[in-house]
Amino acid sequence: MNKFKSDKLLLFGATGDLSRRMLLPSLCALDAEGLLDPQIEIIGTARSDLDDQGFRNFAREALEQFLAPERRGSLATFLNRLSYQQLDATDIDGFAALAEKVGEPKAGLSIFLSTAPSLFEPTIRGLEQNGLAGDHVRIGLEKPLGVDLESSKVINDAVASAFPEERIYRIDHYLGKETVQNLLALRFANLMFEPLWNAAHINHVQITVAETVGLESRVGYYDDSGALRDMVQNHMLQLLALVAMEPPVSYDATNVRDEKVKVLRSLRKIKVDETVTGQYRAGAISGAAVPGYDEELGKPSKTETFVAIKAHIDNWRWQGVPFYLRTGKRLPKRTTEIVVQFRDVPHSIFSGRGAKTVPNRLVISLQPDENITLSLMAKMPGLDREGFGLRSIPLAISMPDAFAGPQRRIAYERLWLDLIEGDQTLFVRRDEVEAQWEWIDAIRTAWEEQATEPKTYTAGSWGPSSAIALAERDGVTWHE
């Protein structure tokens, strides 16, 4: 593994929305804490016709809008790190000027591609032909990496033609969240959980990624993608893999990713009756009226904005344990959470006293709040003259700095540092991506064969009623 520490960063798509909201604020916050090398240079490139000062002005406006004042540090110091080279990535001749702007790094160069996947191939070719793909260069790739397995392989082949796998960093920003990393600590640093983390003690697992927003500025991309490709293929399958993986030999890139791939390859092919798709119609979010998907789009569409799936992992640990996944837009609240529902005690000694036990439940919340809650059974206060009272009480770890730290970090902060320093543990390997796409493609093929069309649901609801039925026919209620 290449362990050089980069002293130059090259950001493609530097004037895009992700750069404004996440990438530049993350770098500035790291700089304010002294976590960036004082000598590191940051070069931005995009189609926008800007010079160095124009890009610094762009960055200043973005930081003032998207980064809290107390996290900016010396803004002038950070801005002075920035320079800019205009480039149309489809114009191979333009890369010579970019290479000259970047110059020769003393230690190493990290490149971050925050561009449309269609630009990956010409970008890689331009980099390689102009000396920007050598042994001292790493490359980070922002999703989406294709729209199916075939297109993903084309992108991966293009990148692999210039960069070996140990210098490719495929980004899923969910893996940069503190609570996601804490999931590994919870499982593998606590003796009490791992012996129970299997089919003998867990009834089912739920993973929910709910959004209140609609299309916003992603109209073209989202209608070509849909909820299955946009959320399930990457974020949700990564969360599922972390929940279900076997203990790795050690916490390093190879061992962690080996175990995730085993889970993804163990996913059973989904039956059509194990999925539900939906598309929102006009409704209300937090009391405010919002239009339907077709109204926002301006035309009818068969793209799903909601999907629920009952997944199965065919291995020794998880045989018979369903994993319920759901994600959607225009749902009642913004939340990302993992719910691990344990089985009930095999025999209650309190049933003769009229007391009913409730199975323990572990809820791992990723956003908007980062916390972990474990429900436990406890005795109700009293002298028990009318029976022995039991109740479920939450053991919650939700202090402001328990997971987020004194400062609430942007997930990209961790990923930037790992890219600069050469740690691939929280990045996605090619075989992971392709295992994910293989499973997703099978679902889409089944939908096409059955002519499945999304059912409508009212904005502000939890999706089509059939999504509730998907779980309830197994005696399961979605956690809300």
Task: List, by residue number, the catalytic residues.
Answer: 235
Q: What is the largest CA-CA distance in the chain?
A: 87
CA distance 126 to 134: 13
* Residue list for the binding site for substrate: 173, 177, 211, 230, 329
In sequence order, the 6+-apart residues with CB closer than 8 A to the CB of 8 are 40, 41, 42, 43, 102, 103, 105, 108, 109, 110
* Residue list for the binding site for NADP(+): 13-20, 47, 143
Q: Is 413 helix (H, G, I), strand (E, B) or coil?
A: helix
Q: Which amino acid would we find at residue 312?
A: H
Question: Do 158 and 127 meet the contact criterion of CB atoms below 8 Å apart?
Answer: no
Q: Is 335 helix (H, G, I), strand (E, B) or coil?
A: strand
* Residue list for the binding site: 13-20, 47, 143, 173, 177, 211, 230, 329
In sequence order, the 6+-apart residues with CB closer than 8 A to the CB of 221 are none
| Rounded to 5°, angle at Cα 214 from 434 and 58 | 85
Residue 247 φ then ψ, to 5°: -60, 125
Which residue bears the tokens 């480039």? Answer: 87
Q: Is 211 left (phi over 0), alpha (psi -120 to 50) or beta?
A: beta
CA distance 426 to 351: 47
Q: Is 449 helix (H, G, I), strand (E, B) or coil?
A: helix
Establish how many alpha carbons lie within 13 A of residue 438's alpha carbon, considering only the half-sphere containing its beta carbon: 14
- Which residues lie across from 283 on neighbouring strands? 290
In sequence order, the 6+-apart residues with CB closer than 8 A to the CB of 436 are 233, 234, 237, 264
Residue 178 φ then ψ, to 5°: -55, -40
